[in-house]
Amino acid sequence: MKEPLLDIQELSVEFPTRRGLLKALDRVSLSLAPGEVLGVVGESGAGKSLTGAAVIGLLPPPGRISGGQILLQGERIDNLPPERMRRIRGRRIGAIFQDPLTALNPLYSVGRQLVETMQTHLRLPDGETRRRAIDWLQRVGIPAAEQRIDAYPHEFSGGMRQRVVIALALCAEPRLVIADEPTTALDVSIQAQVIEVLKGLTREHGTAVMLITHDMGVIAETADRVAVMYAGRVIEVGPVREIVQTPSHPYTVGLMGSIPSLETRVERLRQIDGAMPRLNAIPPGCPFNPRCPNVFERCRVERPELMPALATQAACWLYDAASLPAASPVPSAHA
C-alpha cells in the first residue's frame, strides 16, 4: 500500500451527558492511500458519519476527540485551531454532506458559492472561476448549467441540490474527499454519473475518497477497500471483492447475506436478529456478541482487535489460534 494520505490512529470520540461520558467512537484506525476509495459501511448509529465529521473537524457539539490522532499527509490535524482547520477544509479536504439544504447558503446563487470557493482556495481570475463553475455543474449532471448557474438553491429540486453540493465539495480539487451518502436522493443514472466523477478525481488527481454509505451497490461499484463499522468500532477491513464475496466477521456475513442475489433464488432474505446496542449499554467483550450466531465465552469478556481472517482483517476471536476449539467456523454469506 502507498504512503497513506489520511491516517486515523486509535481515534476515540466522547459525548458528555448528565449521566456521564458516552463513547461514540472507540479506538478507530483507518488509512487511505492517494487515489484510493475506502467504503465505510454499517448500520445507522455505527459511527460512520461521526468518523467523517472528526476528520473534517466538524464534530457536533458537545462531542470531542478524547484519544488518538488524525494525520493528513503526515501532518496532525485533529488538534489544529479552528481558523487553521477552516483553511484546510475545501482546499485539502472536501466534504459532501447528507443534507444539501444545510450545506448550501440560501442567500447566494449556486454559481456565487462555487466561484467564492474556488477564489478562496485556488486564487483564479473571475472569468476562469465562472467557467470552471459551469464546467463542474455540467460534470455532476446539472442540465443547462450556463443558464442555471445564477439560480438560487430553492430553485433546484432535492436531487439537483445534492449535485450542487457535490460540485461544491470537488471544485477546489481537494486531496481528500469525505463523501457522506453522496448519492442520496439521486436516481440511478445520476448516481452513475456522480460515481464516475469521483472515480475520475482519483485517477486524474490522486484524490483519496472516504465513501460513507448504506448502499452496497455503490460500494461494490466504487470502492477499492471496505471498512465495516459496528457500535463505534471497525470490525472488518479488506478489499471490496473479498468483503462482498467472502466476508469474515459474522456481522459482515449477515450484512452480505441480507442483499438479494441475481444468481440464487431464495424465498426469504437472511436477517440479523436483534439491534445494535445503545452507546450507554455496549456489552463487554465483542460488541456484537449478543447477536452473534458463533458466540462463545471469550467473546463475552475480551475485546478482539483486528487480526488476519480469511482474505480480510476481522475483529473476531474465531480467527485467533488461542480461541476455544469449540468455536464454530463462520458461515458463508451465500449459504
Structural domains in the chain plus CATH codes: 33-46+81-225 (3.40.50.300), 246-261+281-335 (no CATH)
C-beta of residue 182 within 8 angstroms of C-beta of residue 214: no
CA distance 62 to 195: 34
CA angle 7, 10, 15 (to 5 degrees): 115
pLDDT at 328: 53
pLDDT, averaged per 10 consecutive residues of the chain (335 residues), comes to 86 91 94 94 90 93 94 94 89 84 89 92 85 92 93 89 88 91 77 81 86 86 94 96 93 84 70 86 94 93 93 94 57 54
Residues whose CB is less than 8 angstroms from the CB of residue 236 and which lie 6 or more positions away in sequence, other chains included: 226, 227, 228, 243, 247, 248, 249, 251, 252, 306, 309, 312, 313, 314, 315, 316
pLDDT tens string 264-302? 776 776 778 888 998 888 999 999 999 999 999 999 999
Q: What does the pLDDT read at residue 335?
A: 47
Distance CA(70)–CA(201), nearest Å, equals: 23
Q: What's the pLDDT score for residue 192? A: 81
Identify the pLDDT of residue 262.
64
**Residue 268: HSE in the Cβ half-sphere, 13 Å Cα cutoff:** 3
* Three cell numbers written together for 231: 457500535
The 10s digit of each residue's pLDDT in 139-154 is 888 999 999 999 999 9
pLDDT for 330? 56
Q: How far is CA 166 from the centre of its chain?
A: 15
Q: 281 to each of 11, 22, 74, 258, 277, how far by Cα in Å?
A: 20, 10, 36, 26, 6
Report the SS3 class of residue 188. Answer: helix
